[in-house]
Amino acid sequence: MAAPHLRLGVNVDHIATIRNARGGRHPDPVQAAQIAIGAGADGITAHLREDDTRPHAACLVPERREERTTEGGLDVAGQQDTVASVVTRLRGAGICVSLFIAAEPRQIQAAVAIGAPVIEIHTGAWCDAVAENRISAAQAEWQRIRHGAQLARRLGLEVHAGHGLNFTTAEAIAALPEVVELNIGHFLIGEAVSCGLAEAVRGMRVAIDRGRA
């Protein structure tokens, strides 16, 4: 049976990107965050600047400066000691830590081994396959996500998911009872151009609630 409520996190990075294109204070990511919460989001995600400290939660991602977006999951298994030291430091400061990883057993098991309480499954490859109508690839990626979420829950991890989700794919992911949070940004900001941010978030809330039912 699915959990009664699936948390929705809205990423406001793209609001800051638009603001930074010309400088100044408009549009305001804080105002966007308030609108999103008022429309049904449960939380807000954003890249922190290097001088920002003590967020409520931090998700570790493999950021590469040449990438426009995060193209792959964090290789926890391949750099276990390094990631473990960061997780330990953040948790020691009272920050909830999650790891953005592919739904691969070795990465999930490595997350458990270093004491990470939460993972966020990278859904980008599946979303791309769905968008490009590559049916076999989409089915294979879906099974990988589903089995990964099940394994993670069995091992005691809290499971989140995100990257590339739209109304349709988010509704499908919402049907997985192991997943308790979705984080969505680019699609919602794109939708906001035509219908407004509040309406876009409300639409996503309806989609994931429908998938959860």
Same domain, 66 and 136: yes
Q: Are 165 and 186 in contact (CB under 8 A)?
A: no
Same domain, 80 and 34: no
Buried b (16+ CB within 10 A) or exposed e, 141-158: bbebbbebbebbbeeebb
pLDDT in tens, the chain (213 residues): 546 699 999 999 999 999 999 999 999 999 999 999 999 999 999 987 666 677 889 999 997 655 555 578 999 999 999 999 999 999 999 999 999 999 999 999 999 999 999 999 999 999 999 999 999 999 999 999 999 999 999 999 999 999 999 999 999 999 999 999 999 999 999 999 999 999 999 999 999 999 999
Range of the domain at 120: 55-164
Same domain, 70 and 24: no
Same domain, 110 and 154: yes
pLDDT of residue 72: 82
The residues near 143 (Cβ < 8 Å, ≥ 6 apart) are: none
Q: Is residue 123 part of a domain?
A: yes
**pTM, 2 dp:** 0.92
Whose CA is closest to 167, among 203, 134, 119?
Answer: 203
Q: Is residue 176 part of a domain?
A: no
Whose CA is closest to 121, among 137, 107, 136, 138?
Answer: 107
Same domain, 77 and 143: yes
Q: Is residue 88 part of a domain?
A: yes
Q: In total, how many domains does the chain have?
A: 2
Same domain, 74 and 149: yes
Over the stretch 139-164, which tens digit does the pLDDT of each residue have? 999 999 999 999 999 999 999 999 99
What span, in angstroms and rounded, lies between the C-alpha atoms of 41 and 174?
15
Over the stretch 88-118, which tens digit does the pLDDT of each residue have? 999 999 999 999 999 999 999 999 999 999 9
